Amino acid sequence: MPSNRITLIVIPFLLPLLTGVSQAVPAAELTTLFTTPAERQLINSNRYKTDAGETPRPVEAEAEAAPEPVQQLIREEVTRQYRVSGITVSSDGSHTVWINSIVYEDGEQLEDKSRIKVLVGDEIKVRITAPDGKKYYATSGEVLEVTYLAPVEN
**All domains of the chain in start order, with CATH:** 75-151 (2.30.30)
How large is the average pLDDT for residues 40-44?
A: 76
pLDDT score recorded for residue 55: 58
| pTM listed for this prediction | 0.51
Residue 73's beta-bridge partner residues? none
Confidence of residue 15 (pLDDT cuts 50, 70, 90): low
Distance CA 75, CA 80 (A): 16
Amino acid identity, position 12: P
- 148 CB-near residues (< 8 Å, 6+ apart): 77, 78, 130, 131, 132, 134
- Residues written for the chain: 154
Amino acid identity, position 123: E
